[in-house]
Structure 1
Amino acid sequence: MVTVSPPTWAYALQLPHDPRAARIARATVRAVLAGHGMDQLADPAELLVSELVTNAYRHAGGTATLRLQCLDSRRLRVSVWDANPDIPPPFDKRSGPLRSVPVDGDGGRGLFLVSHYAVAWGGYPLGDDLFGMGGKLLWCELAAA
């Protein structure tokens, strides 16, 4: 009897506190997914990675780490760590239902997009005991149709 394991892999990318970090993260995601034959997830993955990395850049003030993990042949988990321990809405799950953003608002759409396009998403604070880093981890999962 032959057993076949689903393809699993993970990549991590350390990102500097730099306004170009989201662009670098998008290019990395597209290259990784193409290399693993998961091109069908490239567009939504780029969008969601861009939003999570931009959130880290705008609110954490330091480096961030992007992690891509293949859960099975059709699912991708994206996570971004940053040093700010505050979990933003809607990832905090306490902020109530998602509200629309005013047309002239400067922000507030990015994490809404993540919660809308991802099949699962969440966030949790990381205590200072994890390698002394603390901060938070925001994650989302995408699935191929």
Structure 2
Amino acid sequence: MNAEVHVLDYEPHMVAPSHYYRTRLRPGGHSARHVRRIVRAYVTAWGMAPLTEIAELGVTELLANVVKHVPDGTCTVILRRRAHGLRVEVHDSDPALPRPGDPEGLAEQGRGLALLDALTDAWDAERTGPATKMVWFELVSRTPAGGP
């Protein structure tokens, strides 16, 4: 296990082996690389390899927000194979919904949600409890994956 990633638990087959992956972790500075490998493996196995790069980029942006904004630094990442493509969810314990930034010039921050908006087919954030939220995005596959 990478010293930067603290996997708290995972359930790769909670719904169905071919449609779902879940892990709870405490991401660190370099943990996005670990999660990108997981995303790549599942998306490729699900026959949606053309979605891999965008899915990896999207999950990287969401994990960066967890590292920066979530007080306890933990989150749950869920990958869901759908008939039309892929849904990626990141659940955390910060109830504040993310707001798109308004970066100026060469600012290094504030572009993540704008990037999600530009690259994904849909995304949103919603409260899942009094002190929790979920940020998700979906990618539509141009070739059917045959999922639910």
TM-score normalised per structure 2:
0.77
Counterpart-to-counterpart distance in 2, 1:113 and 1:55: 13
How far has the Cα of 1:20 moved from its partner?
A: 2.2
1:114 CA displacement: 0.6
Q: Distance in 1 between matches of 2:134 and 2:140?
A: 20
2:141, 2:129 → 1: CA distance?
33
Give unpaired runs (5+ residues) of structure 1: 1-7, 91-98, 129-133
Q: Which runs of structure 1 show a deviation greater than 3 angstroms over 4 or more consecutive aligned residues? A: none
| Structure 2 CA distance for aligned equivalents of residues 127 and 44 of structure 1 | 28
For residues 138 and 103 of structure 2, what CA distance do their matches in structure 1 show? Answer: 24
Counterpart amino acid of residue 141 in structure 2: A
Q: For residues 106 and 47 of structure 1, what CA distance do their matches in structure 2 show?
A: 16
For structure 2, list consecutive stretches of 5 or more residues without a partner in the other structure.
1-17, 143-148
Separation of aligned partners in 2, 1:66 and 1:12: 6
Q: Distance in 2 between matches of 1:48 and 1:116?
A: 11
Structure 1 position 52 matched with structure 2 position 62: yes
Residues 48, 85 of structure 2: 8 Å contact kept: no
Cα distance between partner residues in 2 of 1:38 and 1:63: 28
Bigger Cα Rg: 1
Equivalent residue for 1:138, pick from 135, 143, 148:
135
Cα distance between partner residues in 2 of 1:28 and 1:83: 22
How many equivalent residue pairs? 125
Whole-Å separation in 2 of the counterparts to 1:20 and 1:67: 19
Deviations, residues 38-81 of structure 1 (Å, cap 9, x unaligned): 11110111111111111111110321111000111x41001101
Match of 1:87 among 85, 97, 104: 97
Secondary structure at the aligned position of 1:142 is classed as strand
Residue 69 of structure 1 is aligned with which of 80, 104, 111? 80
What's the CA shift string for 1:61-117, capped at 9, x where partnerless?
A: 321111000111x41001101111100114xxxxxxxx7521232310111101111
TM-score, normalising length from structure 1? 0.78
Q: 2:108 aligns with which of 106, 112, 119?
A: 106
**Structure in which a larger fraction of residues adopt strand:** 2
Amino acid at match of 2:78: R
Q: Quote the residue 2:22 is aligned against.
A: 12
**Code of the aligned partner of 1:142:** L
